[in-house]
Amino acid sequence: MSPKAKRFAIVIAAGALLAAAAGLAMTALRENIVFFVTPSEVTDIHLSAERIRLGGLVADGSILIDGTVAQFDVTDESATFTIRYDGALPDLFREGQGIIAEGAFRDTLFVADTVLAKHDETYMPREIKESLEEQGVWKGEATE
Amino acid sequence: MIAIAEIGHFALIMAFVASLCQAGWPLLGSRYQSTRLMAQLQLAAMGLVFMSFAALLHGFVTSDFSIALVAQHSHSLKPLIYKISGTWGNHEGSLLLWIVILVLFGGIFALTSSPLPGRFARLTLAVQGAVTSAFLAFSLLTSSPFERLADAPLEGRGLNPVLQDVGLALHPPMLYLGYVGLSLAFSLAVAGLLVGRIDQAWGRWARPWVLSAWSALTIGIALGSWWAYYELGWGGWWFWDPVENASLMPWLAATALMHSVLVVEKRGQLKSWTILLAILSFSLSLVGTFIVRSGLLTSVHSFASDPSRGLFILGILIAAIGIPLTLFAWRGPQLASANDASLKSRDVALVMNNIILVIATAIVLLGTFYPLILELVSNQRITVGPPYFDATFNPVMAFALIGMVIGPVLAWRRGALPHLKSTIGAAVMGAVVIMVGGFWLLGPLSAGAIAGLGLLGWLTLGMLADLHRHLKLHPPRQRASRIAHLVLPVWGMWLGHIGMAVFLLGALGDGLARSEVTVRAQTGDVIALSDRAYRFIAIEQNQGPNYSTLTARLQLEDLDGQPMGELAPEKRFYPAERQTTTEAAIRPRFSGDDYAVLGDGDDTIGYSLRLYHKPLISWIWGGAALMALGGLCAIGGRRPLQATSSQTG
């Protein structure tokens, strides 16, 4: 095989690999991105069982715990939804704490399989902080 | 004592001056050029940065709270080791550590550069000096670690308790050794472009730096993963978090570089490509630093965030990518070499290895930055989760693993080694046996799981067949000496590749056969999990050095109720930092880990417990250690050059 044909074969093989990988990546990306919304941004599309991340503050006095199942409200002050989560809650889960829950709506109840509250007491997940700032309800650093 | 921080600050400024001279010296007329002088400048910068770091370390160890950084990140009651590791458990200090390692590598290069042609060594030192001065400017202008407080507080604010951990004390230095070690591959590549010649000798000079950086990066990533496993208490070992991806990308690029440097050294081929990979690897290391340090991406790790710093690093990044690429456009065409390898050769196998690894890097890059780009363009906030990476990264890497059996049994330039067919036969047999065995043991499996098992069998038997063949060529009595006489780089390849198989074993064991349960339990309860049970004996309150704990005592029992051991997961309250952390209790065994986490609760509603059995999971880190060891082995010993090497410069 001449060097030119050889180079051509390698380039074709690499191109095919690249195209396959790009196609794979694009499909996977389309199927696996998860949108983040706050309660007031929830629309009918989100209610139709699409997988999303719902973030907000845990409403005061809303936490109910039954065995390993926790039920609580998240709010961004203009809208509130109830979340149900079966599993272990993070260390910093408490009233007034900003959290992110990942899961899907079943009617208007949000069934989560993951609840994140980040490590630091004064830390607010970035998405929540930004959307609260947009709505003017962000009150600066959380305090004890 | 008061003045020590100022001496440290001053030393850092002087180091900046020395690095700047080092970067600019080659611009002076040729009669002023002296390799010795450049090396001395590099060593001076090294000494000064070390001094500066020692001053900061002194501040942390003596709890000098008049230094703002110490007041914010340390506490007098902290154990000594965490006072020391606290030095780099924050943005300013970790940046200084980055620079310490940068000048350390530069210094080692300066001391060992005498065999290199003078001009080439000087240009390498100049590029290294440019990188060093850029980072010193970054540190001095935006993140000086030595700022004083007018009113020194009596007590510091403490170090984030999650970071008070041995794994995390060692993780950043190892990771930085890897990131920064790649700076020398970068400097050598740019110097090669400036001189206009890259040849087999270049490959021989670059190889030790690439391999040592790669090994350190491997260990650094493994330590980070191990830390996440036992400290975060989620039982996982890899989360596809942006910060993890940030370290994986340079690792993938450096893995490609490590293989292509081999082709440069052995065959004088792939030169342009190798130069590009060297630039790419170090740029991705900078991106890694950028992601972690700028707080650009949301992440569980982003404990330091300041956008203005991000812009500075972005500037460094643009210069570090743009200037070499411009040089490459100018000089690259001169690097072309006649290619006489046949398609069925180790050369082409290594080209495929490189293409696959670069595609894998691109996939991780896309998944990591897509959310950011989408937010910039459409203001929509999204996450790209593990399913994306599982669906893309895993199948692409599967091809790399398939190639790990085929590549080593191909000959350089043309043709196969005599045992190509028997090796592939053994590998196919291994794949089939393990797939059937897995199906029989674990029941119906997903396509990905079956492919994973098949790969494990393919790798294991394929490599064993190749190794056996190497040893069989000699009569039994000579085999031991034959093992001893295999050159170190060959051992390096074996260890590295076997490490990959061991890693895969661990990942599959945990991925396919793990069991877990979350319960709310009272003392006295017995919780069954796969073939064992946990007896909740008691809940206790204890006092640690700078925290108090709530500890659950769990007795692990087998099916007959015989005790196997005790696990004591904790919740720790750190009063200084006003934080709570979860300390998982782990009973590690080669066969698998028992892993228990204590959640929320009280005596009336009971305590939430998460219990896992994770088969074979330790092999993940064992495999990474083997890979790193392989990398280190491959540094040793010189490969005989196929063609006579020509001198550069």
Range with top average pLDDT, B286-300, B562-576, B629-643: B562-576
Nearest to A87 among B341, B381, B518 (CB): B518
Q: How confident is the model at residue B631 (pLDDT cuts 50, 70, 90)?
A: very high
| pLDDT surpassing 90 at residue B135 | yes
Q: Which residues of chain A have pLDDT under 50?
A: 120-123, 138-144
In this prediction, residue B299 carries a pLDDT of 41
Rounded average pLDDT over B270-283: 92
Calculate what percentage of chain B has a pLDDT beyond 70.
92
In this prediction, residue B502 carries a pLDDT of 97
- On whether any CB of chain B is under 8 Å from the CB of A93, the answer is yes
**How close is the nearest chain B Cα to the Cα of A73, in Å?**
18
**How close is the nearest chain B Cα to the Cα of A127, in Å?**
7
Q: Which residues of B fall within a CB distance of 8 Å from A68?
A: 518-520, 608
Angle, helix B476-485 to helix B447-472, in steps of 10 degrees: 110
In this prediction, residue B480 carries a pLDDT of 63
A94 close to B579: Cβ distance less than 8 angstroms = no
Q: How confident is the model at residue B468 (pLDDT cuts 50, 70, 90)?
A: confident
Start-end of H helices in B232-379 = 242-267, 271-294, 307-331, 346-378
In this prediction, residue A121 carries a pLDDT of 45
Calculate what percentage of chain B has a pLDDT beyond 90.
55
In this prediction, residue B99 carries a pLDDT of 96
pLDDT tens-digit series, residues B198-252: 889 999 999 999 999 999 999 999 999 998 898 877 888 998 988 889 999 999 9
In this prediction, residue B191 carries a pLDDT of 95
Q: Which residues of A fall within a CB distance of 8 Å from B366?
A: 25, 29
CB atoms B520 and A67 under 8 Å = yes
Nearest 10 degrees: Cα torsion B553, B558, B564, B570: -20
CB atoms A18 and B359 under 8 Å = yes
In this prediction, residue B483 carries a pLDDT of 61
Of A17-26, B120-129, B414-423, B594-603, the poorest mean pLDDT is in B414-423
Q: Which of B109, B172, B97 is nearest to B135 (CA)?
A: B97
Q: Record the tokens describing residue B612, joined without a space.
A: 């896992």
d(CA B317, CA B299): 21
d(CA B206, CA B261): 7
For chain B, the average pLDDT equals 87
Q: Record the tokens describing residue B177, joined without a space.
A: 């050794």
pLDDT tens-digit series, residues A20-51: 889 989 899 888 888 888 898 888 888 887 88
Selected residue of A1, A17, A32 to mutate for chain B interface (largest B Cβ count, 10 A): A32
Q: How confident is the model at residue B404 (pLDDT cuts 50, 70, 90)?
A: very high
If one counts every other C-beta atom within 10 angstroms of the C-beta of residue B30, the result is 7
B290 close to B253: Cβ distance less than 8 angstroms = no
Which residue, chain included where needed, has tokens 């001169």? B334
Q: How confident is the model at residue B338 (pLDDT cuts 50, 70, 90)?
A: low
- On whether any CB of chain B is under 8 Å from the CB of A64, the answer is no
Nearest to B578 among A3, A118, A144 (CB): A144
| pLDDT surpassing 70 at residue B473 | no
- Which is higher by pLDDT, B123 or B34? B123
Q: Which residues of A fall within a CB distance of 8 Å from B355?
A: 14, 17-18
- On whether any CB of chain B is under 8 Å from the CB of A50, the answer is no
Q: How confident is the model at residue B649 (pLDDT cuts 50, 70, 90)?
A: very low
- Which is higher by pLDDT, B510 or B444? B510
The 3-state secondary structure of chain A reads CCHHHHHHHHHHHHHHHHHHHHHHHHHHHHHHEEEEECHHHCCHHHHCCCCEEEEEEECCCCCEEECCEEEEEEECCCCEEEEEEECCCCCCCCCCCEEEEEEEEECCEEEEEEEECCCCCCCCCHHHHHHHHHCCCCCCCCCC
CA of A41: which chain B residue's CA is closest?
A: B380
Q: Give the three-state DSSP class for B161.
A: helix
Q: How confident is the model at residue B282 (pLDDT cuts 50, 70, 90)?
A: very high
pLDDT tens-digit series, residues B93-116: 989 999 999 999 999 999 999 889
Q: Record the tokens describing residue B614, joined without a space.
A: 């994770």
* Radius of gyration over every alpha carbon of chain B, rounded to an integer in angstroms: 27
DSSP string, B618-640: HHHHHHHHHHHHHHHHHHSS-PP
CB atoms B388 and A33 under 8 Å = yes
Q: Which residues of A fall within a CB distance of 8 Å from B579?
A: 119-121
CA of A127: which chain B residue's CA is closest?
A: B381
**How close is the nearest chain A Cα to the Cα of B52, in Å?**
30
d(CA B64, CA A25): 51
CB atoms B579 and A119 under 8 Å = yes
CA of B231: which chain A residue's CA is closest?
A: A119
- On whether any CB of chain B is under 8 Å from the CB of A1, the answer is yes
CB atoms A1 and B362 under 8 Å = no
ipTM tops 0.95: no
| pLDDT surpassing 70 at residue B77 | yes
**Buried b / exposed e along B272-298 (16+ C-beta atoms within 10 A):** bbbbbbbbbbbbbbbbbbbbbbbbbbb
| pLDDT surpassing 60 at residue B641 | no
Nearest to B381 among A9, A17, A36 (CB): A36
Rounded average pLDDT over B59-70: 92
Nearest to B363 among A25, A34, A68 (CB): A25
In this prediction, residue B643 carries a pLDDT of 36
**How close is the nearest chain A Cα to the Cα of B126, in Å?**
36
- Which is higher by pLDDT, B608 or B643? B608
**In one letter, which amino acid is B264?**
V
